[in-house]
């Protein structure tokens, strides 16, 4: 296989991705509302030459808040504050197509693209979390297919808004008393099934043309959506074989949608516990698991299956698929439900063991070992066609991020798999994505062709 440079994102989640990580002595004691915490993570990730930092989001209070650290800052405003503390690293913020409106979302992200000088991406979600609908005055949670149907319409409108200004629309010429060339700004008049937007946007085209489009759905519906729109895809897999199958399927779907497969970067999650020996790393992992609260795990498992009640099950009985609803009928995180039932079928876990497996990264790949083992595993997945890189999900923050940057990144650099210095100033450049075409340029080309 030809040598390829991998991509690494830092996924920031509370004080770490393990649900008991906040209790660990290497977790921060800064409040989750203290911007200094996020700035320190950004600086460390930038020292490690990461492509970006990723912020997930939920639009309802986590039911486990009594025993798991939560209530963190809203992603978009956090990114705006962190931009001033960094120079190179990108930022990916989550925003919902179900509960936002296209104009305000397009305006917010266009502003972030300017504030960060082209280092921002939008993680497109359709919001499966229970209770979110009631926070927006909607009586029932929209169905999975309906949420994606709106998402297609929504994204189309947002893309039009980002393209409503030509690159040269701002003249800013005080001598001629011309600030903007109004003939280079146009309404979009989008009228879809779910959203209607007149436009144009009231802010100029961003440095990247548009933010990088990111998506995390792995259901059949999610794959179709990603093939059409996503430029980076975050995905959850517990083993390399399923990751490779997903990678192949998504790249093929992108080609079928008329896109180049190298314009879709696939990044599974990895949650590594690093020790000087494999045994030391495994001890840390087991210690974290022993700090978990089974009730918190049950609540999260229930959320993944749309509110299904698992509380009647014995924690130490081996599970069967009959203990779960059919994952294809789940209206919450459908793809994650498939991952969980697949794990149960393969490994015959007890409920307690399943909760421990999910406590670390909620269905993402977890690995305890030496820095060499972590680096070798990353290399193996990339060379095997299972990933273009990884969404790094440290179980404890900042401690396990420090370990990764200081001990794993140098090994990846030594292997020639990862950058030693930033070669681009934009997130689009970090990912190796093509420049975004402008409808204004395309129209001009067509006019020239007609004239000729």
88 annotated among ligand-binding-site residues: no
Q: What is the pLDDT of residue 1?
A: 35
Low-confidence stretches of the chain (pLDDT beneath 50): 1-2, 445, 448-452
Contact (CB, 8 A) for 225 and 264: no
Burial class (CB in 10 A: 0-12, 13-18, 19+), 82: buried
Q: What is the DSSP letter of 218?
A: -
What is the Rg, in whole angstroms, of the alpha carbon atoms belonging to the chain? 22
Q: Is 242 annotated as a binding-site member?
A: no
Give 276's DSSP letter. S
Q: Is 303 annotated among the ligand-binding residues?
A: no
pLDDT tens digits for range 168-190: 999 999 999 999 999 999 999 99
Domains of the chain: 7-279+365-451 (3.20.20.30)
Q: Has 57 been labeled as part of a binding site?
A: yes
Instruction: Tell me the CB-side half-sphere exposure of residue 412, using CA atoms within 13 A.
Output: 30
The answer to whether 148 is a known ligand-binding residue is yes
Within 10 Å of residue 449's Cβ, how many Cβ atoms? 8
- Judge whether 17 and 394 are in contact, CB under 8 Å: yes
Structure tokens at 416: 């020639």
Q: What local confidence, expressed as pLDDT, does residue 450 receive?
A: 40
CA distances from 436 to 161, 206, 209, 378, 441 (A): 14, 11, 6, 30, 11
- pLDDT digit string, tens, across residues 185-218: 999 999 999 999 999 999 999 999 999 999 987 7
User: 302 labelled as ligand-binding?
Assistant: no
pLDDT at site 67: 79
Residue-averaged pLDDT of the chain = 91
**What pLDDT sits at residue 3?**
59
Q: Give the model's pLDDT for residue 36.
A: 97
Per the DSSP assignment, residues forming a β-bridge with 173 are: 178
Task: Say if CB 233 and CB 265 are below 8 A apart.
Answer: yes
In b/e form, how buried is each residue of 383-415, taking b as 16+ CB within 10 angstroms? eebbbbbbbbbbbbbbbbbbbbbebbbebbeee
């Amino acid at each position: 296989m030809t040598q390829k440079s991998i991509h690494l994102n830092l996924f920031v989640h509370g004080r770490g991705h393990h649900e008991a990580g906040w209790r660990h002595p290497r977790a921060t004691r800064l409040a989750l509302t203290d911007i200094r915490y996020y700035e320190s993570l950004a600086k460390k990730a930038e020292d490690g030459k990461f492509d970006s930092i990723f912020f997930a989001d939920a639009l309802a209070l986590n039911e486990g808040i009594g025993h798991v650290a939560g209530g963190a800052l809203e992603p978009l405003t956090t990114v705006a504050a962190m931009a001033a503390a960094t120079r190179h690293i990108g930022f990916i913020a989550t925003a919902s197509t179900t509960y936002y409106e296209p104009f305000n979302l397009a305006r917010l992200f266009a502003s972030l693209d300017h504030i960060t000088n082209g280092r921002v991406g939008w993680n497109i979600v359709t919001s499966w979390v229970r209770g979110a609908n009631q926070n927006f005055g909607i009586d029932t949670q929209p169905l999975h297919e309906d949420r994606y149907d709106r998402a297609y319409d929504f994204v189309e409108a947002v893309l039009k808004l980002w393209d409503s200004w030509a690159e040269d629309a701002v003249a800013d010429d005080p001598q001629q008393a011309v600030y903007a060339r109004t003939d280079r700004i146009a309404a979009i008049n989008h009228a879809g099934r779910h959203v209607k937007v007149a436009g144009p946007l009231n802010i100029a085209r961003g440095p990247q043309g548009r933010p990088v489009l990111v998506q995390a759905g792995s259901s059949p519906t999610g794959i179709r959506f990603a093939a059409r729109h996503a430029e980076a895809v975050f995905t959850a897999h517990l083993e390399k074989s399923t990751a490779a199958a997903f990678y192949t399927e998504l790249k093929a779907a992108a080609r079928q949608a008329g896109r180049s497969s190298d314009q879709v970067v696939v990044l599974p999650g990895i949650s590594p516990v690093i020790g000087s020996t494999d045994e030391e790393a495994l001890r840390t992992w087991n210690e974290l698991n022993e700090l978990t609260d089974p009730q918190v795990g049950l609540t999260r498992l229930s959320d993944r299956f749309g509110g299904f009640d698992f509380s009647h099950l014995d924690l130490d009985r081996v599970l069967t698929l009959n203990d779960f609803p059919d994952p294809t009928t789940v209206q919450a995180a459908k793809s994650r439900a498939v991952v969980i039932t697949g794990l149960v079928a393969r490994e015959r876990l007890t409920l307690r063991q399943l909760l421990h497996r999910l406590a670390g990264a909620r269905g993402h790949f977890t690995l305890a070992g030496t820095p060499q083992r972590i680096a070798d595993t990353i290399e193996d997945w990339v060379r095997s066609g299972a990933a273009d890189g990884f969404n790094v999900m440290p179980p404890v923050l900042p401690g396990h991020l420090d370990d990764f940057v200081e001990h794993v990144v140098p090994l990846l650099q030594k292997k020639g798999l990862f950058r030693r210095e930033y070669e681009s100033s934009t997130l689009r450049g970090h990912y190796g994505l093509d420049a975004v075409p402008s409808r204004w340029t395309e129209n001009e080309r067509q006019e020239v062709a007609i004239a000729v």
